[in-house]
Amino acid sequence: MLSRLVCLRQLSALKKTVSPTLYHTLSGTKIAKSIREQANSEIQSIRKNFPDFEPKLKILQIGAKPDSSTYVRMKLKASTESGIACDVEKMPDTITEVELLNKIEQINDDDSIHGLLIQLPLPKNLDEARITNAVSYKKDVDGFHRYNAGELAKRNGSPFFIPCTPNGCIKLLQEAKIDLNGKNAVVIGRSDIVGTPVSNLLKNMNATVTMCHSRTKNIPEILSTADVVIAACGMPQYVKGEWLKEGAVVIDVGINYIPDNTKKSGVKLVGDVDFESAKNKCSYITPVPGGVGPMTVAMLVQNVLSAAKRQLTESDNMPKIAPLPLHLKQPVPSDIEISRSQQPKPVLEIAEELGIHNHELELFGHYKAKVSLSILNRLQDRENGKYVLVAGITPTPLGEGKSTTTLGLVQALSAHLNKPSIANVRQPSMGPTFGVKGGAAGGGYSQVIPMDEFNLHLTGDIHAIGAANNLLAAAIDTRIFHEKTQKKTSTFYSRLVPKKKGKRTFTKSMLNRLKKLGINKPNPDELTEEEIEKFARLNIDPETITIKRVVDVNDRMLRQITIGQAPTEKGQTRSTGFDITVASELMAILALSNDLKDMRGRIGRIVVAANYDGEPVTVEDIGCAGALTALLKDAIKPNLMQSLEGTPVMVHAGPFANISIGASSVIADKIALKLVGKSKKSHVQNQEGGFVVTEAGFDFTMGGERFFNIKCRASGLTPDAVVLVATVRALKLHGGAPDVKPGQTLPLAYTEENVDLVAKGVANLCKQISNARQFGVPVVVAINKFETDTEAEIEVIRKAAKEAGAFDAVATNHWEKGGAGAIDLANAVVKVTNEPSDFKFLYDVQQSTENKLATIVKKMYGGADIDILPEAQKKIDMYNKQGFGNLPICIAKTQYSLSHDASLKGVPTGFTFPIRDVRASIGAGYLYALAAEIQTIPGLSTYAGYMNVEIDDNGEIEGLF
């Protein structure tokens, strides 16, 4: 019995000297391989639905340190095995910080690259913190950016990426099924790369964490109670086995080389833990090599894949517009007062909400910016959002509020119905702004802000048009001057195509002219005398010049001028004049171009005159198409602003509404439609696209008809619905009420209820509904309600509109209440855009010019016939001969009647429509016929708008509307 007791005691003592369990090696190599294989499998799976899905890592290696090259090769190999594209770019260690930062910015802006890694350490001449923080936090797969580090340090933070080595450490613990909840964890080392982030990760997993460093005392004592040890101090074999608690889990992050004569290299790789003394104390321990190292690379692979998946998901996200609150006042203050009372969002915030990247934005101050056309390439796989055109009935001279309705509708859609929407409007000319009409920012609580910046200069697009137009005008007169004063063609040719460094070369425009003439000789010295004469002499007939100089001011004294009176011009005088800048054909081209190449081609095709043989002379012939396009290279980019409720607005182009399309640009529409459109490959079920709401100048018979027949032909886009703006005031005028004149008190018929007048006037609305429906697009009527309008008058309009075929007719009060006053209209628009449409043009462009004119007059205006005056017919015949007969038609007429006669209200019929003249905008791509002479540079009234404008000592503009 005694001997048995002794044996038991001896066995017990023996057990106390032996580790309770054998240690397990945590092999990072095995786990990392599994992670890489899983990543590859996931990539292949995603590609089944998204064939273009290609995660990509970019590594910048500065200098050629051997250890850095080794790490880069490991990362390249691991990425490739995982199905991740990896591009390593090596740079000299002499690279400057500015050069490296520029390179990082380029990569940040490249959507094809999902992860960017700067291989550390960097040469001493580079600020490591500045460089690593220059990497976009959304591409910072190392997790070193201050945003990611800060979010990791926060309780319940949301970093985009976790640093790879710390994440690898945690992954090893998870693979071993180590429950960290309540465990004592000790981290040796406080580096920003490992020690600090791994401590944060352990705390987030509810471990009690102690961080030790070079100043910590009694480290062995601290380690003796540690359940988990993370060693990352960079000291070879620092941690001894006798310091450790029985059964501790040890993660050795260290990578150190110590002398070893048995190795061919003379060195041996060891960790920060003395493996041999520690292994018998541990339940789990990582080897070096083969532990944390492979996991670091595997976590990098996982981060790149996560970045690519995040980008794929974000491509499905619809814009989320954060609205600004309105603080409504009664009575409604002036437009400028309302605008100034609202603090706009920074335009960077508007862009971010729309998903516009920083490199796609060019800031002009805090609240406006230009949007790069490159965004269309990035968004080419998006569907278009819903496309809504706002037009109107035949207006009074006071206007019926199309711009205000456009803004109010978008504010309602975005700020109140959570439907991402963009308003696309024209840039106003400063001529009307300082004249009688005023600006075009909308009005009341539905306007573009800041409205003073919107109405004055904006980003200089109109000035760029003016500079380009006037360069063209100067080039034309100069060419005539030189041809007439240089009689000898050979001398003129030598000056036209001069030798530079002993060699002559043709410009791009010259080569295009040679091609037009059928001369296939790119060498200037090979042309015959006959070919030189044909090429060099344009022989412009001054009487046929159609290009005038322009100015963005209502300066009536410039309507007709005489130029060339200086003695230096040698008697080359002629009569000409000025147009307002927005009447320039270049403005129409800006509005109708699809991209920069299209604009260059259109500018080259502008016909500026005819030669003495009646042949057209173009801008390409003059030789300045490239220069004009260069002046407009920034103007072609749409401008981004916002409404009073912080909803996005695109402002671009401002073509003269009488002789042109009177609508904002094709490019702005295309960009906006993609921004609010859903992905064609979206995996989000039942996702709905957003809305783009744009407007057309004047009433539907003018702006709407041109929008469909000219702008839609240029863009290839067709609206999903038309919103027709009507007012009780305008319908009373068409019903027989007295004339309305700006600046004069409204007659009582307009401010008192008169249902009979409205009932008579609705015929005009019904005709406009019919006009719109001829294009196969559904119509909603927006009844822009004024304070004096009564419910009985509104009901007459609503009933007549529906009987005429409108989908709905809704009263709105957005001028007084902002988006809240247009919610019913917005709901109607949402519904109508889901209705089927069958778009068709009003006429075939291959029809004769005469037939196209007659079709517009009969189907849109209600006329019986057209009367083409002899001079106009002569022009038509000339354009047919020149090959321009197959262009769409724009008819310039009064906006105050469906007919050519402003006094004919309501729905006149049976009239003969006169065509007094026909002119050509070949670059823009249409002919325009004139029913009466149109003033293309308005005049100023006795009491003009500029008289109200002042600026205070702080630079605040006052007196704008």
> Which residues does the annotation mark as catalytic?
75, 119, 142
* Residue 574 dihedral angles phi and psi, to the nearest 5°: -160, 160
The angle at the Cα of 418, spanning 416 to 424, to the nearest 5 degrees, equals 85
State both tokens at 746: 């409204």
**DSSP sequence for 216-243:** -S-HHHHHTT-SEEEE-S--TT-B-GGG
Rounded-to-integer distance, Cα 392 and Cα 133, Å: 53
Q: Are 667 and 692 in contact (CB under 8 A)?
A: no
Rounded-to-integer distance, Cα 83 and Cα 744, Å: 74
Rounded-to-integer distance, Cα 389 and Cα 664, Å: 11
State both tokens at 719: 């609206």
- Determine how many CB atoms are found less than 10 A away from the CB of residue 97: 14
**DSSP sequence for 115-156:** EEEEPSSPPTTS-HHHHHHHS-TTT-TT--SHHHHHHHHSTT
Q: Are 576 and 933 in contact (CB under 8 A)?
A: no
**Beta-sheet strands, E only, within 528-669:** 549-551, 561-563, 574-576, 578-580, 607-610, 616-618, 639-643, 648-651
User: Long-range pairs for 593-600 at CB < 8 Å and ≥24 separation?
Assistant: 593/636, 593/665, 593/666, 593/667, 593/714, 594/666, 594/667, 594/670, 594/714, 594/715, 595/373, 595/376, 595/636, 595/667, 596/373, 596/629, 596/633, 596/636, 599/629, 599/632, 599/636, 600/625, 600/626, 600/629
By the 10 Å C-beta count (0-12 exposed, 13-18 middle, 19+ buried), 28 is classed as buried
- Determine how many CB atoms are found less than 10 A away from the CB of residue 6: 10
Rounded-to-integer distance, Cα 506 and Cα 510, Å: 6
Rounded-to-integer distance, Cα 388 and Cα 710, Å: 16
* Residue 825 dihedral angles phi and psi, to the nearest 5°: -65, -45
- Determine how many CB atoms are found less than 10 A away from the CB of residue 861: 26
Rounded-to-integer distance, Cα 729 and Cα 75, Å: 73
Element (H, E) at 201: helix 195-204
- Pick the closest to residue 29 from 258, 359, 431, 297 (CA basis): 297
Cα torsion through 43, 45, 50, 52, rounded to 10: 40
* Residue 210 dihedral angles phi and psi, to the nearest 5°: -115, 130
Rounded-to-integer distance, Cα 12 and Cα 30, Å: 38
* Residue 905 dihedral angles phi and psi, to the nearest 5°: -95, 180
Query: Which DSSP category does 558 fall into?
Result: G
In 367-376, which positions are buried (b, 16+ CB within 10 angstroms) versus exposed (e)?
bbbbbbbebb
Which residues, listed in sequence order, are joined to residue 610 by a DSSP beta bridge?
616
Q: Are 417 and 323 in contact (CB under 8 A)?
A: no
Sign of CA dihedral 638, 640, 642, 647: positive
Q: Which amino acid type is present at position 922? A: I
Q: Are 609 and 548 in contact (CB under 8 A)?
A: no
User: Is 390 strand, coil or helix?
Assistant: strand
